[in-house]
Chains A and B, each alone.
Chain A
Amino acid sequence: MKKAYNELWITNLNIQNISRSWHRKNLITTKQLEQITIDFPEAFYKPGIFVKTGLFLFTILAGSFFSGFISLFFLENSTDKIFTVISIVCAVSYFFALEYSIKDRKLFHSGIDNALLYMAEVATLIPVFLTFEHLKIWQYCLIILVVNSVLLIRYADILIAFISVGALYVMFANIIIASPQLKPFLPFFLMLISAVIYYFNKVNYGVYYANCQTVIKIFSLVVFYLGGNYYVVREGNALLSDLRTPIAPQIPFSLLFYILTTAIPLIFIFFGLRNKDRILLIIGLLTTAFSVFTYCYYFDIIPVEIILTVAGLALILLTIFLINYLKTPKFGVSDEKDDSQNFANLEAIIIAHQFGQSPAGDQLHFGGGDFGGGGAGISY
């Protein structure tokens, strides 16, 4: 299927970005960079994240009122048939606007085209769902998967990629749960599916799909971990078997899942560092945190505040040690400051949210993260 966005421009954009990172490292001169920008041109409209957000929101607003406007013509009777007609009219209009905005206004994932794509997808799916009622969940998932895959190949949108993989997982999970013989092995099936997806996703499908592949990679890694996580399996088992006990019952192969809970994050971190794969590393760190939570949840012999204090202290000491240790790069890993993006302002906001003082009643409470200040407004 033909790709919607200009592939040559995307390639050139990628070349320009790489050249810019070389320029920051003083590997090429400013003049050479300018020459590269001229020789490898692109003319996409790429606004910043904030304008993109605005464009997205107002496109959704305009789109929803457009559909409201269309439905004004069919006010007399509101049956499923009418809804189908309205949806089809809307879907066609959205797709038309989408193609126009990409071809003519040269948009490139700039808010408007994302919003139009999502609205078009929803408008396409509504008639299908209205026509085929009472299907099984996996059949709905199959429909979503097929529609999304087509859209994914043409538009390479990350949310579409996310929904596609999600639908794929739900479809398989639904089929497996339906069969009593396979049901106990659901975690292993999920891990197997994740491994297969990860393997096929490793193939390089080109810059056009680079971001989508990242999303699919994150998704498959996280599901792979969750499939082996003791907490998820134990609670999930209780949920699926409809056992309404206050504490979820023990599961078969519990030792195996304990091992998986510990081992998977460590393997992720190890390979993340060895293969210089940042996604793997970060997911390894996050899943480590979840594994710690898993163990604390089932072994609450030590009170939570002592765990917090000790863990906090250990983390601080560990990072200080690592920062000092990595002053000179070791095993190809370093602590070099990356100036490419400045997150200082964002950091400040998050910290203010975390530690900021907030008025809470007229008494001082105190605790670590949330410091409650006193007094509301005009009372004093």
Chain B
Amino acid sequence: MTTKSILESFTQKGILPEEQAILIAEYERTKSFSIHRELRAILYLGITLLTTGLGILIYKNIDTIGHQAIIALIAVSILACFYYLFKHAQPFSKGIIKNTEPFSEYVLILGCTLFLLLEGYLQYQYEFFGTRYGIAIFIPTVLFFLCAYRFDNRAVLSMAITGLASWLGLTISPLSVLEKNDFTAPGIIITSIVLGVLLVVISWLSEKSDWKSHFRFTYILFGGNLAAIAGLAGLFNNDPKIIYFLITAALCTFLIQTARKTQSLLFLLMGVIYGYIAVTYAAFIFLPDSILAGLSIFYFLFTSVGVLLFLLNVKKILGLKK
């Protein structure tokens, strides 16, 4: 099946007039090969390599290059980045800013990463913040939040949220939320749940007030994952279990509700998987042993078939359009 045969079948059925088919065939023949995404990926790789290389370079030569020289160099680079950004920036808007200048996003990421580098350097060499490490993380977090909203950048927003979490002593990058956090520590579960729920609330508010409503996805992804995993960890390790179960269940319901409203199936999946784990665990904890003995053989078979039926008919049940 080629473009030509498709176009022929279209003209035969009378969907397209002959001239339009010729036009489309001409377009298909001459259309250019876009390497937009590949170029952006290489650019991003370049920024990663450069900042990594510079970091190691400074770290190794910390005694030979003048400290002031290094600090001045990084500071000048940051200023250059932000000068570029403000020069090319679109005016602030509450919605999505479209038609941004092609490099802005990458210059912003470069600037923000260099800022972290500068701050780390100041602290390492001069103990700039003394032992108040909290401030050292809090400053870039605030800066990143401002940048994210000013330049409408979801990547920097994600960096700001992870910064906020690490200010509280958490790791919440979606790929490492499980492996890097020690959920057996008592305080961390409460902190995680509070922060996670807070992020979910912010996502709800930004949707409600129409303030950067496209940031909602980022907030809810970080917050929802964090709160749900922390809730499950609490359910497994801590007492009273019923409280943690209720929190997790409420969160999963909210995620499924959000999926329904925003047509986002990622939240649906999160809600279903976390919910399934919570309900299964709760069933095995709370139910008396006599019921459990009969239940355990069939439970997984029938519930997973139930979930499958739910997911298969999710469009009808939740009224999703997609």
Residues of A bordering B, CB below 8 Å: 11, 14-15, 18, 22, 25, 27-28, 32, 35-36, 39, 45, 47-51, 53-55, 57-59, 61-62, 65-66, 69, 72, 105, 112, 206-207, 273, 276, 278, 281-282, 285, 303-316, 318-320, 322-323, 326, 329, 332-338, 343-345, 347-349, 351-359, 362, 364-369, 371-380
A104 to B29: give the CA distance in the assembly, Å. 40
Smallest Cβ-Cβ distance to B267: which chain A residue = A50
Interface residues on B, range: 35 or more
B46 at the interface (CB under 8 A from A): yes
Pick the residue among A206, A343, A353 that contacts B175 (CB under 8 A): A353
Name the prevailing secondary structure of the B interface residues. Answer: helix
Q: Mark B182-215, 1 if CB is under 8 A from A, else 0.
A: 0001011001000000000000000000000000
Known: A309-B54, A311-B49, A374-B133. A22 touches B24 (CB 8 A): yes
Known: A105-B312, A352-B161. A333 touches B35 (CB 8 A): yes
A51 to B322: give the CA distance in the assembly, Å. 11
Smallest Cβ-Cβ distance to B15: which chain A residue = A35
Question: Would you list 7 pairs from A and B whose C-beta atoms are within 8 A, ordered by A residue?
Answer: A39-B15, A51-B265, A349-B221, A353-B174, A355-B113, A364-B123, A372-B120
Tell me, rounded to whole Å, the shortest Cβ–Cβ distance linking B105 to chain A: 9
Taking a contact as CB atoms under 8 Å apart, the answer to whether A315 and B45 are in contact is yes
Taking a contact as CB atoms under 8 Å apart, the answer to whether B171 and A358 are in contact is yes
Tell me, rounded to whole Å, the shortest Cβ–Cβ distance linking B137 to chain A: 5
B142 at the interface (CB under 8 A from A): no
Pick the residue among B32, B154, B175 that contacts A334 (CB under 8 A): B32
Taking a contact as CB atoms under 8 Å apart, the answer to whether B52 and A207 are in contact is no
Taking a contact as CB atoms under 8 Å apart, the answer to whether A336 and B120 are in contact is no
Known: A312-B53, A318-B42, A364-B136. A356 touches B15 (CB 8 A): no
Tell me, rounded to whole Å, the shortest Cβ–Cβ distance linking B319 to chain A: 15
Tell me, rounded to whole Å, the shortest Cβ–Cβ distance linking B217 to chain A: 5
A352 to B225: give the CA distance in the assembly, Å. 15
A372 to B13: give the CA distance in the assembly, Å. 64
Pick the residue among B27, B51, B218 that contacts A345 (CB under 8 A): B218
Residues of B bordering A, CB below 8 Å: 1, 3, 6, 9-10, 13, 15-16, 20, 23-24, 27, 32-40, 42-57, 59-60, 102-103, 109, 112-113, 116-117, 120-121, 123-124, 133-134, 136-137, 140, 154-155, 157-159, 161-163, 166-171, 173-176, 180, 185, 187-188, 191, 217-218, 221, 265-266, 268-269, 272-273, 276, 297-298, 300-301, 304-305, 307-308, 311-312, 314, 322
A293 to B191: give the CA distance in the assembly, Å. 42
